Amino acid sequence: TKRSDVSNSEYAKFVSQEVPRDEVSILNSVFSHLAYTFHKNPSNTEAMDAYNGIAFTIRDRLLKRLEDTDSHFISINAKRINYMSMEFLIGRTFDNAMLALGLRKEYSAVSNTLGFNLEDLIDEERDAALGNGGLGRLAACFVDSMACCNYNGWGYGLRYRYGMFQQQIINGYQVEAPDCWMDNPNPWEFPRPEISYKVKFYGNIAKTPSTSSGYTWENAVEYDVMAFDTPVPAFGTKNVGNIRLWSCKTNDLFDLNRFNAGDYPGATGNMVAADILTYVLYPNDNQNAGKELRLKQEYMFVSATIQDIIHRFKLTGKPWSEFHELVAIQLNDTHPTLGIAELQRILVDEEAMSWDAAWDIVTKSFAFTNHTILPEALEKWPVPMMGKILPRHLGIIFDINLFFLQHVEKSIPSEREFLSRISIIEESSPQQVRMAYLAIVGSHRVNGVAQIHSDIIKATIFSEFVKVFGSDKFVNVTNGVTTRRWVNQCNPGLSALITETVGDESWVDDYPKAHLLESRVNDEDFRKRWWDVKQANKLRLATYIKDTCGITVNHDALFDIQVKRIHEYKRQLMNILGVIHRYNTLKKMTPEQRQDQVHRVIIFAGKSASGYYIAKLIIKFINSVADVVNNDKDIGDVLKVVFIPDYCVSAAEVIVPASDISQHISTAGTEASGTSNMKFVMNGGLILGTVDGANVEIAEEVGDDQIFMFGVLAHEVDEFRFNLRYHPDPLDANLQAVYDTIKSGVFGNPDEFNPLVECSHGPGDNYLVSVDFASYLMAQDAVDALYKDRESWITKSILCGSRMGKFTSDRSITDYAENIWNIEPSAVDA
Ligand code: H53
């Protein structure tokens, strides 16, 4: 008998055992980790140790399931989805994992035995904030849904040493501090030193007729990139997902010659250079920084990922012609688009394939999701920069473009102008590589993220490509959110109500079942409990606000929330100008009249890109207004304004369940989808929004009359912009009064805030604040009126909450699977 046969059969016996689920066994496994992983015993165990000890036992369970899932999919030769994203905004994993494993009660008892409250241990975990906003959170929801829906899907990304910066508010200003999230042990990842690849930069291209492609990439600098796996707990199935994150490996870069010559710092020079590549997440959302380091990050990410995909494919022993039947690669925005050139390069330069055969494989495997039409977000890289860092890829991109333009010329007789408009290379000075165009040309499907957005990209930024490729290549997949985190985990009160109504927990992975809530809309007892759940969540948020901002708010007031990245197009500015209008109106009233008004707490949170001047000024302005309003004795509890610092996933889990109304008020046509709008409504909050992104589909589902909509429509925006520039209307009297208040100096030096006045009216008003302001105030009045009628409010809240079945990310993933990836689910146990 070979040694491996013995150990294999023993191993098979070992892994086929179920991991015990009773409290005593769990406690013992925690003791074991405390003692042998962390060198702790119950008497010197602090909260952080208890969290780690417990988390490591959960990690053991997840790793077992990851192993089982992997073996299962390998055994059936399943196609794998590779979801490539520069961002995964995961947040915390602990609570989510306990719920997914169905062991929360047991772990709660074990925590008590150790002398801790489970809720406190949950707060010990640092968020994994490897993303900026909606795009990164979507990626995290999608990996959750791929796992829960039993698809063979992996996320691929970068393991940033510093995630999204921590936001402090000092004197009203945003101040950024590094997010040192790796300072503590991370139970949720495990290093895979055996999985590492070489990634090359710089160098030159030599013509080498002896090689199959005729080119060799020489004199490049090489780095080693290593994998870290983060298993993704899944609810209601034994499958688990995985996010493979790449990190630079520095061990090989120690310069022994310099070390021996006594130059100790110099000996580590290359190590530092390599490390920096995965040091930091660029804190830009919907904005392209255009930095050389970012291009290197993107390439390091795609190169390691594509090599890993090819490695796994080769293990199947299948011919290249079947590659696309086993591999789907989804590009989350343009950030991983270089993957197209990388796969083409490996196939022609290293696998000796013909250009056409390689290109056929590439285009059948890749698909591209577009998330924005904002010009400042669309990635372009200067040709000289790309030529320096990635000389071979630049050559390949030029060839892809040449063949593409030749094809266009042949199929539709075109003028030069047309060709230059759709060229992947923009003829500017210097020339630029248009990454979205490369992504379209190299993919078999392109999708937008909400119906209105998918329609807009076909009619505007990509319209010429629709002429070339036909309309069928362009599809819509409306975004969604995972109901595991965004209802079940973050809102236990509501979750219990839904479970009681549905009869079991099946709604958690079959969210359309929440529609059963509607049958109870007239049940008095149910209505009262619905209201009480909301009040309890508001009390929880009020406590959070007291702890983080020191402001006392009354949880009986209407909670009006706008939390998202701070960006001009999202129009936090319009919100705060509306607050000033409300303040002015209240000031003019008698104390009795004031007390009669709906009491409101207006809550903001969100980060600004560190270099985004106007967005940072908006944060300062909100805080200056808050200072005045909150300290005005005349106003008291009638109006409070709060800016919660350091918005992140775990803060959102407290904020989202507590809204009465949330604002999604982007200029029509600018917000591709939005996903927090979905979370708020699922949690029984109503929406005040523009006719934009997913608001439109939410209105379709819940009923037009259920949500508060206002503002100009997407197709009217250009004309309004033109008029603001050339034929401005006189300024709205309310807006003028708001400007007068700002100019009076009550909120501080008016000169400081003048740029905000200038960009909210007249030719500077690119996002149409002045155009929508009057209808915004009217919609706000309608909100007040309805809130006074509590019974109607509760009815709307229940109806909206129950009609959100469409917006689970399980539905989005099923759409991708059926319309783009052509892949079937398969459960581990089946
Ligand atoms: O992606 C979300 C959308 C949202 C959109 C956002 C986004 C980013 O967060 C970053 C870059 C980008 O191009 C788009 O703004 O509307 O909901 C997920 O699709």
CA neighbor of 602 nearest in space, from 570, 562, 637, 632: 562
Supply the pLDDT for residue 3.
67
676-688 residues labelled b (16+ CB within 10 A) or e (exposed) = bbbbbbbbbbbbb
Over range 423-435, report the average pLDDT.
98
Percent of the chain residues topping a pLDDT of 70:
99
**pLDDT(1) > 60:** no
CA neighbor of 629 nearest in space, from 601, 661, 660: 601
Is residue 671 in contact with ligand 1, taking CB distance under 6 Å?
A: yes
**pLDDT(647) > 60:** yes
Mutate to test the pocket of ligand 1, among 371, 570, 678, 696 (most ligand atoms within 8 A of CB): 371
Active site includes 371? yes
Supply the pLDDT for residue 415.
83
Catalytic position from the list 61, 80, 392, 570:
570
Q: How many CB atoms lie within 10 A of CB 360?
A: 17
Catalytic position from the list 65, 296, 484, 565:
565
Is residue 133 in contact with ligand 1, taking CB distance under 6 Å?
A: yes
Is residue 435 in contact with ligand 1, taking CB distance under 6 Å?
A: no
C-alpha of residue 675 to centroid of ligand 1, in Å: 9
Helical spans, DSSP H, in 631-714: 649-655, 676-682, 693-702
**Ligand 1 atom showing the smallest separation from residue 674 Cα:** 17
Q: Give the separation between CA 428 and CA 448, rounded to whole angstroms.
A: 27
| pLDDT tens sequence across 386-408 | 999 999 999 999 999 999 999 99
CATH code of the domain occupying 554-801: 3.40.50.2000
**Ligand 1 atom showing the smallest separation from residue 333 Cα:** 13
Is residue 674 in contact with ligand 1, taking CB distance under 6 Å?
A: yes
Catalytic position from the list 667, 675, 741, 808:
675
Is residue 134 in contact with ligand 1, taking CB distance under 6 Å?
A: yes
Catalytic position from the list 40, 72, 445, 564:
564
Mutate to test the pocket of ligand 1, among 142, 369, 372, 570 (most ligand atoms within 8 A of CB): 372
When mean pLDDT is compared across 1-10, 220-229, 691-700, the lowest value belongs to 1-10
Confidence of residue 13 (pLDDT cuts 50, 70, 90): confident
Supply the pLDDT for residue 11.
82
| pLDDT tens sequence across 741-786 | 999 999 999 999 999 999 999 999 999 999 999 999 999 999 999 9
Is residue 520 in contact with ligand 1, taking CB distance under 6 Å?
A: no
| pLDDT tens sequence across 121-138 | 999 999 999 999 999 999
Place of tokens 């590589």: 433
Right CATH number for 76-92+127-478 from 3.30.365.10, 3.50.50.60, 3.40.50.2000, 3.40.640.10? Answer: 3.40.50.2000
**pLDDT(816) > 70:** yes
Closest residue CA from atom 1 of ligand 1: 135
Supply the pLDDT for residue 487.
98
**pLDDT(264) > 90:** no
Is residue 286 in contact with ligand 1, taking CB distance under 6 Å?
A: yes
76-92+127-478 and 554-801 agree in CATH topology: yes
Is residue 285 in contact with ligand 1, taking CB distance under 6 Å?
A: yes
pTM, whole model, 2 decimals?
0.97
Q: Which residue has the higher pLDDT, 250 or 479?
A: 479
Supply the pLDDT for residue 616.
98
Mutate to test the pocket of ligand 1, among 87, 286, 571, 690 (most ligand atoms within 8 A of CB): 286
C-alpha of residue 453 to centroid of ligand 1, in Å: 11
Task: Catalogue the long-range contacts made by 67-75 (C-beta closer than 8 Å, 24 or more residues apart).
Answer: 67/15, 68/15, 68/238, 68/828, 69/238, 69/239, 69/240, 69/241, 69/828, 72/239, 72/826, 72/828, 73/152, 73/826, 74/315
Q: How many CB atoms lie within 10 A of CB 828?
A: 17
Q: What is the mean pLDDT of the chain?
A: 96
Supply the pLDDT for residue 742.
98
- The token duo for 439 is 């992504």
C-alpha of residue 666 to centroid of ligand 1, in Å: 13
Amino acid code (one letter) for 695: N
Question: 327 phi and psi, to 5 degrees?
Answer: -135, 125
Place of tokens 């925006």: 717
**pLDDT(411) > 90:** no
Active site includes 808? no
Q: Which residue has the higher pLDDT, 581 or 209?
A: 581
Q: ipTM value of the model?
A: 0.99
When mean pLDDT is compared across 87-91, 411-415, 572-576, 678-682, the lowest value belongs to 411-415
Catalytic position from the list 40, 345, 371, 620:
371
Supply the pLDDT for residue 267.
84
C-alpha of residue 519 to centroid of ligand 1, in Å: 35
Is residue 809 in contact with ligand 1, taking CB distance under 6 Å?
A: no
**pLDDT(252) > 80:** no
Confidence of residue 251 (pLDDT cuts 50, 70, 90): low
Active site includes 570? yes
* Torsion angle in degrees (nearest 10) through CA of 304, 308, 309, 310: 100
What value, to the nearest 5°, has the Cα angle with vertex 20 and ends 16 and 25?
140
Beta-strand relationship, 600-605 and 445-448: unpaired
Q: Which residue has the higher pLDDT, 4 or 821?
A: 821
Supply the pLDDT for residue 289.
86
Q: Give the separation between CA 19 and CA 25, rounded to whole angstroms.
A: 9
C-alpha of residue 285 to centroid of ligand 1, in Å: 8
**pLDDT(5) > 80:** no
Q: Give the separation between CA 296 and CA 306, rounded to whole angstroms.
A: 15
> What does the domain layout of the chain look like in residue ranges?
76-92+127-478, 554-801
Supply the pLDDT for residue 2.
64
Q: Give the separation between CA 119 and CA 824, rounded to whole angstroms.
A: 38
SS3 228: strand
Distances (CA, A) of 51 to 19, 27, 93, 106: 20, 13, 12, 14
**pLDDT(334) > 60:** yes
> 764: burial class by Cβ within 10 Å (0-12, 13-18, 19+)?
middle
| pLDDT tens sequence across 218-233 | 999 999 999 999 999 9
Closest residue CA from atom 18 of ligand 1: 135
Over range 318-340, report the average pLDDT.
98
Which range scores top for mean pLDDT: 253-262, 272-281, 779-788? 779-788
C-alpha of residue 692 to centroid of ligand 1, in Å: 13
**pLDDT(10) > 80:** yes
